[in-house]
Chains A and B, each alone.
Chain A
C-alpha cells in the first residue's frame, strides 16, 4: 500500500503493509518520479502503518534520499512502528533522515 500527497509544502509518502525486496522493486521508479516532480519543500515518509521492513527497505530509502538530495530537499521519517524503528536504528539512517 502506497499513497502520496503534497500538503503545506510537505511531500507525504505513506507506505503501509510490508516493505521488502518484492515491494521495493515495484515502487522505486514511481517514488523517484514523484520526488523529481517537485512542488514541495520536504519529503516525509509516513511509516505509521508499515508493519515490516528489512534491509531492502533501507536501500530503497537511501536511494530516494539521493533523489531528494539532487532536488536539495530534506527527508524525514514519521512514526515508524516498533519493528521498523529497530531496523532503521541499526542501519544508522536516522543521522541523515531524522525521525519526526
Chain B
C-alpha cells in the first residue's frame, strides 16, 4: 500500500503547507475540485486543532501526518502528543469549544465529519490525540 508521512512543527504557517501536501497527494485518485477542497478543509481543521488545542501554540512541538491510498479511498491521519481530549463525544458536538475567548467556532469536528467519508478520534489525556479520516473518491 502506498503511503506518505509528513512531520511539521506546530506553526500556523504549516496549516496551509500541510493541507496543500495532502491535497496534492490525493490528486492521484483524480478527485473533483470539490473533493480536493473537502480534503483541504478537513486537514486544515485537524492541524489547526493540534496547534491551538493540543499544543497551545507551542511551535516547538511536532504534528505527524500520514496519508495513504487504498483502492479509491484516501486515508489521512493527524497525530499530536499534546494535552489530549477528556471527553471525545462532547468535543465532537456542533459548536462545542473550550476556547471561546479565541473565537473558535466549535465547528472543526463538524466540518471534518461532514466533508470526509469517515472520522475517528482517539485520545488519551496527557498523551495526545490521533484523528483518522477517510474519503472515498468518485
Binding site for B on A (CB under 8 A): 18, 20-22, 24-25, 28, 52, 54-56, 58-60, 62-63, 82-83, 86-87, 90-91
Q: Nearest-CB distance from B51 to chain A (Å)?
A: 7
User: A28–B103 contact, CB under 8 A?
Assistant: yes
Chain B residues near A91 (CB-CB < 8 A):
105, 107
User: B103–A59 contact, CB under 8 A?
Assistant: yes
Is B44 interfacial (CB-CB < 8 Å)?
A: yes
User: A52–B37 contact, CB under 8 A?
Assistant: yes
Is B15 interfacial (CB-CB < 8 Å)?
A: yes
Question: In whole angstroms, how far apart are the Cα atoms of A62 and B12 in the complex?
Answer: 21
Mostly helix, strand, loop or mixed at chain B's interface? helix
Q: A55: nearest residue on chain B (CB-CB)?
A: B107
Known: A52-B40, A55-B45, A82-B34. A22 touches B15 (CB 8 A): yes
Binding site for A on B (CB under 8 A): 12-13, 15-16, 33-34, 37-38, 40-41, 44-45, 48, 51-52, 102-108, 110-111, 114-115
Chain B residues near A58 (CB-CB < 8 A):
105, 107
User: A21–B103 contact, CB under 8 A?
Assistant: no
User: B34–A90 contact, CB under 8 A?
Assistant: no
Question: In whole angstroms, how far apart are the Cα atoms of A63 and B100 in the complex?
Answer: 10
Known: A28-B103, A83-B34. A55 touches B111 (CB 8 A): yes
